[in-house]
Amino acid sequence: MSTPKVPWFPGASCHITARGNHRNDIFKDGEDFQYYLTLIEEALKYFEYDEYEIICYCLMDNHVHILVKTKDKAPGQFIGRVNAMYAKYFNKKYNYIGHLFQDRYHPEFIKSDEQMLEASRYIHLNPIRANMVERPEEYQWSSYGMYIGKKKEKLITTKEVLSYFQKINKRELYKNFVESAIRNKASL
Tell me: the pLDDT tens digits for 90-104? 999 999 988 999 988
Instruction: Assess if residue 6 is contained within a domain.
Output: no
N residues, the chain = 188
Amino acid (one-letter) located at 142: S
Instruction: Tell me what pLDDT residue 3 has.
Output: 56
Instruction: Assess if residue 106 is contained within a domain.
Output: yes
Give how far Cα 69 sits from Cα of 33, 80, 97, 111, 186, Å. 22, 15, 33, 12, 29
Give how far Cα 156 sits from Cα of 74, 100, 115, 134, Å. 18, 25, 18, 24
Q: What rounded mean pLDDT belongs to the chain?
A: 92
Instruction: Tell me what pLDDT residue 4 has.
Output: 56
Instruction: Assess if residue 5 is contained within a domain.
Output: no
pLDDT confidence bin for 1, thresholds 50/70/90: very low
Please tell me the total count of domains within the chain: 1
Instruction: Assess if residue 54 is contained within a domain.
Output: yes
Range of the domain at 162: 13-187
Whole-model pTM over 0.85: yes
Instruction: Assess if residue 84 is contained within a domain.
Output: yes
CATH code for the domain of 19 = 3.30.70.1290
Asked if pLDDT for residue 9 goes beyond 80, the answer is no
Average pLDDT over residues 44-51: 95
Instruction: Assess if residue 4 is contained within a domain.
Output: no
pLDDT tens per residue, range 82-136: 999 999 999 999 999 889 999 888 889 999 999 999 999 999 999 999 999 999 9
Q: What is the DSSP letter of 72?
A: S
Instruction: Tell me what pLDDT residue 20 has.
Output: 94
- Among 145, 146, 118, 151, smallest CA distance to 133 is for 145
Instruction: Assess if residue 2 is contained within a domain.
Output: no
Please classify residue 119 by burial: count the beta carbons closer than 10 Å to its beta carbon, then call 0-12 exposed, 13-18 middle and 19+ buried: buried
- Grouping H, G, I as helix, E, B as strand and the rest as coil, residue 126 is helix
66 close to 79: Cβ distance less than 8 angstroms: yes
